[in-house]
């Protein structure tokens, strides 16, 4: 019996799309299931743009929606990006026609996940998205498949390679954020408009998907509390290291008895912790299960090879015919989680102050913290780098975030404090 050929249409021919075309041209019979894969049609913004792969023998579509509905396309792969516009319209078209859809579009799923899952399940189409989180590391499959027999308590990790690269280079080279960001843009690690990455929004989209899979709820991107690395200063990176920590942008979703907390922000991780040791463009993730315990994944979070491999793995799943709910449960049963207020969370904190070089300042700060109910764990005072003031750094014992914020507000008003104190969380990992 002749092997079945699965005809694939690819919308989006950037780094990942080019890597996928190259791989499938070299390995059309890669999948364990019987059959082979052939890319038959593509769509992108520009037909004439120079590319590393030859597309002259493929059907070209200016409109990705037309590609999604093409009768000779069996599997539609969406690599355009963006939560709305052509990407959303093309995915919806393919799903309505009952075609399997594979996407790397975390923003689309984080903001329209339930809607698309409902459409997919009503038409019997598969909607797969392994490449949307952590590139080639199988974070989605781990939660969607391997962890279904467990109750996940939390997921936390480094989900944005651009931010991780910038923070790593700031520490290694002793350079300011703006300098490293400019270099990252020149090297192609950061976009011309880096807001989605450095603002924490890309990581928030990803952890929103992981939270939905981990807790069997609807993706709720609007409920995520997001802070980027824009305000991370080189001074904080240096002082944190002296205290035994490294600053990382960490995305976390944790479940409690009253709801779920989803947040992204810069935190201090102990130097000997795996997250602190994941440098450069690496991604890393902890999954905490009540039965299995703690699982750690690490791998490249982007790039042609790793992300294309994740897309290929989803193509193999389509060929094998295994059908699962798009998230952890049927779409009609998914409900948004009760979002927890981060100010109620309890943890250790890093506080950096810039104060006047005069007697009695430390005593006043300690008294203010004590009045607010904040207990000091460690203390570090550095020589004045210039005439502008003296940096003082302290870490606290575990304290409700609202209490620490109240202390920050009070210390900011002290006559000896020259600017609003800098607050960073210390990771509970």
Between the CA of residue 7 and those of 38, 59, 69, 77, 289, what are the distances in Å? 5, 12, 13, 11, 39
From 374, 348, 345, select the one nearest 426 (Cα to Cα): 348
CA–CA distance, 259 with 215 (Å, rounded to integer): 10
Does residue 4 have an active-site annotation? no
Say if residues 80 and 106 touch (Cβ distance below 8 Å): no
Q: Give CA angle at 29 (24, 32), nearest 5°.
A: 120
Number of other residues whose CB lies within 10 A of the CB of residue 324: 13
- HEC string of the chain equals CCCCEEEEEEECCCHHHHHHHHHHHHCCCCCCCCCEEEEEEEECCCCCCCCCCCCCCCEEECCHHHHHHCCCCCEEEECCCCCCHHHHHHHHHHHHCCCCEEECCHHHHHHHHHHHHHHHHHHCCCEECHHHCCCCCCHHHHHHHHCCCCCEEEEEEECCHHHHHHHHHHHHHCCCHHHHHHHHHHHCCCCCCCHHHHCCHHHHHHHHHHHHHHHCCCCCHHHCEECCCCCCCHHHHHHHHHCCEEEEEEEEEEEECCEEEEEEEEEEEECCCHHHHCCCCEEEEEEEECCCEEEEEEEECCCHHHHHHHHHHHHHHHHHCCCCCCCCCCHHHCCCCCECCHHHCEECEEEEEEECCCCCHHHHHHHHHHHHCCCEEEEEECCCCECCEEEEEEEECCEEHHHHHHHHHHHHCCCCECCCCEEEEECCC
Given the residues 206, 238, 241, 248, the one annotated as active site: 206
Enzyme catalytic residues: 206
């Amino acid at each position: 019996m002749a092997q079945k050929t699965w005809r694939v249409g690819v919308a989006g021919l950037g780094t990942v799309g080019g890597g996928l075309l190259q791989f499938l041209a070299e390995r059309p019979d890669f999948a364990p299931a019987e059959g082979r894969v052939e890319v038959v049609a593509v769509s992108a913004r520009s037909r004439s743009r120079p590319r590393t792969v030859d597309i002259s023998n493929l059907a070209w579509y200016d409109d990705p929606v037309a590609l999604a509905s093409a009768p000779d396309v069996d599997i539609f792969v969406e690599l355009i990006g963006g939560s709305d516009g052509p990407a959303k319209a093309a995915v919806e078209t393919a799903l309505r026609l009952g075609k399997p859809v594979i996407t790397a579009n975390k923003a689309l799923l984080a903001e329209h996940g339930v809607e698309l899952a409902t459409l997919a399940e009503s038409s019997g189409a598969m909607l797969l998205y392994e490449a949307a989180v952590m590139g080639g590391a199988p974070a989605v499959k781990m939660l969607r498949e391997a962890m279904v027999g467990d109750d996940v308590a939390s997921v936390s990790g480094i989900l944005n390679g651009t931010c991780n690269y910038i923070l790593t280079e700031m520490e290694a080279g002793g350079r300011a954020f703006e300098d490293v960001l400019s270099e990252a843009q020149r090297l192609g690690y950061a976009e011309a408009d880096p807001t989605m990455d450095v603002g924490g929004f890309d990581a928030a989209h990803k952890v929103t998907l992981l939270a939905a899979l981990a807790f069997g709820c609807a993706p709720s991107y609007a409920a995520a509390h997001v802070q980027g690395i824009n305000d991370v200063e080189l001074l904080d990176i240096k002082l944190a290291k002296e205290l035994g920590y490294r600053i990382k942008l960490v995305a976390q979703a944790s479940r409690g008895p009253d709801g779920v907390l989803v947040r992204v922000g810069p935190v201090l991780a102990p130097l000997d912790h795996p997250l602190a040791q994941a440098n450069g463009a690496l991604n890393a993730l902890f999954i905490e299960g009540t039965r299995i315990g703690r699982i750690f994944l690490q791998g490249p979070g982007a790039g042609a090879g790793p992300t294309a491999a994740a897309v290929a793995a989803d193509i193999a799943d389509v060929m094998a015919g295994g059908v699962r709910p798009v998230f952890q449960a049927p779409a009609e049963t998914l409900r948004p989680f009760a979002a927890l207020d981060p100010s109620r969370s309890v943890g250790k904190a890093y506080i950096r102050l810039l104060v006047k070089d005069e007697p009695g300042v430390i005593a006043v700060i300690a008294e203010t913290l004590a009045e607010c109910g904040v207990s000091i764990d460690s203390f570090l005072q550095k020589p004045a780098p210039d005439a502008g003031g003296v940096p003082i750094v302290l870490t606290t014992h575990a304290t409700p975030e609202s209490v620490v914020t109240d202390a920050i507000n009070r210390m900011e008003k002290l006559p000896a404090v020259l600017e609003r104190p800098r607050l960073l969380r210390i990771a509970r990992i």
